């Protein structure tokens, strides 16, 4: 495994890319309303990334991916391709944005509840995925074992009686979109000791029913739950600091610290 440790100047670039990715999710929030199409949202975000942020989407053209963002609605787990589909009240929607600025990547996603209300089960699913991500972030510090990430999320998913997707994981990030290490979101023995200067994502996908997923055969991208029950995901890009963790993609709407000192 070849894990890059970021220098001070690289960390500055990661902070900038992370902030730009977070700002896209803040910017799009008022437009995520009943009736809008996911393609309209994607067009707006691409326009914002290019013309306001003077950056580019890392998704567009990545291994042939056709759009600037991923928009995953209800039973879509990840890699939802924006299109003519309209959003409806009660839909739960993940928007995942990866911005490339000055050669460095910032990768983040959040859940939106269309029309502000959904079923209690959907609300619990969205909350479980966010709680799991936050609990996992709190384990990150130099000397911590990467197994703690999966352990933290597993405990929360078990509490809610939901399942954790196993086929997709978090990843190192930097000049590469997906670098080493792989970050598993379920209980595992993939041990690796974290070091200051590592950057990686934590992005748990939580399913209401089975953890099993299927990839759309026609487009090769869109991942749905095998049982068509809903799925939720949140994602942050993180930096291991000298004594804890910094959330590089934190948004203003979050009630969570940007920097945690925990060693
Ligand atoms: N942003 C996704 C991730 O969290 C990857 C999307 S790749 C794309 O790793 F090609 F589908 F955009
Ligand atoms: Co990611
Ligand atoms: Co992402």
Reduced to 3 states (helix: H, G, I; strand: E, B; else coil), residue 193 is: strand
Ligand 1 atom at shortest distance from the alpha carbon of 178: 9
Ligand 1 atom at shortest distance from the alpha carbon of 69: 12
Q: Comparing C-alpha atoms, which of 132, 192, 178, 195 is closest to residue 159? A: 132
What is the pTM assigned to this prediction?
A: 0.99
Among 46, 77, 98, which is best to mutate for testing ligand 1, by the most ligand atoms less than 8 A from CB?
98
Give the C-alpha separation, 45 to 141, whole Å.
Answer: 33
Torsion region of 219: left, alpha or beta (phi above 0 gives left; psi -120 to 50 gives alpha): alpha
Q: According to the model, what pLDDT value does residue 1 have?
A: 81
Using the predicted structure, report yes or no on whether residue 263 has a pLDDT greater than 80. no
Q: According to the model, what pLDDT value does residue 161 have?
A: 98
**Extents of the domains making up the chain:** 8-249
Q: According to the model, what pLDDT value does residue 245 have?
A: 98
Query: What is the whole-number distance in angstroms between the Cα of residue 173 and the centre of ligand 3?
Result: 11
The per-residue DSSP string of 12-58 comes to HHHHHHHHHHHHHHHHHGGG--TT-BHHHHHHHHHHIIIIIS--EES
Q: Please, what CATH class does the domain formed by 8-249 belong to? A: alpha beta
List of residues 6+ apart from 110 with CB closer than 8 A: 25, 94, 95, 234, 235, 251
Q: Comparing C-alpha atoms, which of 198, 197, 201, 184 is closest to residue 147? A: 184
Split at pLDDT 50, 70, 90, the class of 217 is: very high
The pLDDT tens digits of the residues spanning 123-179 come to: 999 999 999 999 999 999 999 999 999 999 999 999 999 999 999 999 999 999 999
Q: According to the model, what pLDDT value does residue 224 have?
A: 98
Query: What is the whole-number distance in angstroms between the Cα of residue 136 and the centre of ligand 3?
Result: 16
The pLDDT tens digits of the residues spanning 45-67 come to: 999 999 999 999 999 999 999 99
Split at pLDDT 50, 70, 90, the class of 215 is: very high
Residue with tokens 């910017």: 27
Query: What is the whole-number distance in angstroms between the Cα of residue 215 and the centre of ligand 1?
Result: 14
The pLDDT tens digits of the residues spanning 85-105 come to: 999 999 999 999 999 999 999
Give the C-alpha separation, 54 to 37, whole Å.
Answer: 25
Q: According to the model, what pLDDT value does residue 251 have?
A: 99
Give the C-alpha separation, 20 to 34, whole Å.
Answer: 26
What average pLDDT does the structure give for the chain? 98
């Amino acid at each position: 495994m070849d894990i890059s440790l970021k220098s001070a100047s690289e960390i500055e670039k990661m902070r900038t890319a992370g902030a730009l990715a977070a700002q896209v999710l803040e910017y799009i929030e008022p437009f995520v309303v009943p009736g809008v199409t996911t393609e309209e949202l994607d067009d707006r975000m691409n326009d914002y990334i290019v013309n306001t942020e003077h950056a580019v989407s890392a998704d567009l053209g990545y291994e042939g991916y056709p759009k600037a963002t991923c928009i995953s609605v209800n039973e879509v787990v990840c890699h939802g391709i924006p299109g003519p589909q309209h959003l409806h009240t009660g839909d739960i929607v993940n928007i995942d944005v990866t911005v490339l600025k000055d050669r460095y990547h910032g990768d983040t996603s959040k859940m939106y509840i269309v029309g502000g209300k959904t079923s209690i089960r959907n609300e619990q699913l969205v909350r479980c995925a966010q709680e799991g991500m936050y609990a996992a972030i709190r384990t990150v510090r130099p000397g911590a074992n990467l197994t703690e990430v999966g352990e933290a999320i597993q405990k929360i998913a078990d509490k809610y009686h939901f399942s954790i997707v196993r086929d997709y994981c978090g990843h190192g990030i930097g000049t590469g979109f997906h670098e080493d290490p792989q970050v598993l979101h379920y209980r595992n023995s993939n041990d690796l000791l974290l070091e200051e200067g590592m950057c990686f994502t934590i992005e748990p996908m939580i399913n209401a029913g089975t953890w099993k997923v299927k990839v759309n055969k026609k487009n090769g991208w869109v991942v749905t739950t095998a049982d068509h029950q809903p799925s939720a995901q949140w994602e942050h890009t993180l930096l291991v600091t000298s004594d804890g963790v910094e959330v590089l993609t934190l948004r203003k709407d979050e009630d969570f610290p940007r920097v945690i000192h925990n060693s």
